[in-house]
Structure 1
């Protein structure tokens, strides 16, 4: 799964990277502790034009009568996304890109304590997660919401967690956004072995109120 991530790329650099028109509602960066229900940076395609805007991380199906009317859907499983009632229409019609600098996962020690790991690209550049989005409105509340698509972990990542975000290469961004015809389903696979690197970080990030660049600093040996 993916339950927390970091993003440090400035909005103007994101807009340039994705050839997208930036919105005026973008959340501040850097943010080293992006949490569910936060507003996050998302790229979608609108009539052939890519747009960089803000969305609530936590997909709200249209039948939810309130934001807390059901489970918090921050992830969508690649294996079932095309059939699940919450996601199947979005999978066909409303796919998006979610940029990140890295993300967190947790293991446990023998006493059950949660030990955070930070996962980032092995090379240069950001991570770009596959996502789906949905507009939701009820009783005067309106949100544009999204979820990160996840798949089974590759061998490298399975040492930490059995799931991982679907990470898209630049040549696949247009296909995922629906700009290049069919074939998006083929992209929902684990990242190649060696594409990511990871290391232990301090337990401060276990709190969703923690902030600052120190959250992604490797623990001293």
Structure 2
């Protein structure tokens, strides 16, 4: 699962790294929460564009979004069969950049949870695999997205059994192409978690659990 993450890279750095042709201004965010607008990278047909989308996928066929579950994450194993995801999986794939993400570990007392912050060892953005959709709700077009998850690697497994699919640069062109691709090619990209040696983690303050809290103090290490 991925329910909280951060993005604190300058706009110019993101444009250069993802070879984007356009991007709006953004502010650093250290506690990105569900149902807010997040940064998404997609192929526009004339190049990569970086734009904001609602985090929580709204399928194009949705009639009443109040009746939808909160589709923050999509399990890689079921993308081909789930009605909410299979259309976007075939044609509307995206990347979601992050500085890092949070996961909570159940403590031995069974009552409390310790948050951990997880990021790349090399300091580069993590590129989550995502899906996007456009839906018309009350005559308003809403662009929305979801983050794909897979089984966790050895580093994260003691904390959580799922993690975001994190794609290396060599997979971006294939993943972002708007052309239909065979399911087996796409699934081969998704089913392998990023290797543990490329990541690190540390415990952080429970303050990240409050959605209004922001600031880089949220990712500072604390004693577990």
Q: Normalized against structure 1, the TM-score is what?
A: 0.93
Preserved contact between residue 5 and residue 98 of structure 2 (Cα < 8 Å): yes
- For the 8 Å contact 1:39–1:56, the answer to whether it is kept is yes
SS at match of 2:17: helix
Structure 1 window deviating more from structure 2 (14-23 vs 94-103): it is: 14-23
Q: State the Cα RMSD in Å.
A: 1.7
Higher helix share: 2
Q: Distance in 1 between matches of 2:12 and 2:164?
A: 24
CA contact (8 A) 2:72 2:146 kept: yes
Among residues 187, 192, 208, which one is paired with 1:205 in the alignment? 208
Identify the residue that residue 6 of structure 1 maps to in structure 2: 6
SS in 1 for 2:14: helix
| 2:68 match | 70
TM-score, with length taken from structure 2: 0.92
Matched pairs, number: 219
Does 2:81 correspond to 1:83? yes
For 2:110 and 2:196, locate their aligned partners in 1 and report how far apart those are by CA, in whole Å. 31
SS at match of 1:9: coil
- How far residue 95 of structure 1 moved from its aligned partner, in angstroms, is 0.3
CA distance in 2, matches of 1:176, 1:48: 16
Gaps of 5+ in 2: none
1:216 lines up with 2:219 in the alignment: yes
Task: Write the distance in 2 (CA, Å) between the matches of 1:38 and 1:9.
Answer: 18
Provide, for residues 171-202 of structure 1, a one-character-per-residue CA deviation record: whole Å limited to 9, x for no partner.
11111112796522211121112121111000
d(CA) in 1 for partners of 2:110, 2:213: 23
Deviation per residue, 1:91-119 (Å, 9 max, x gap): 01000010000000001221411211100
1: CA distance, partners of 2:46 / 2:80: 23
> Which aligned segments of 4 or more residues in structure 1 are displaced greater than 3 angstroms?
179-182
SS of alignment partner, residue 157 of structure 2: helix
Deviation at 1:12, TM superposition (A): 2.2
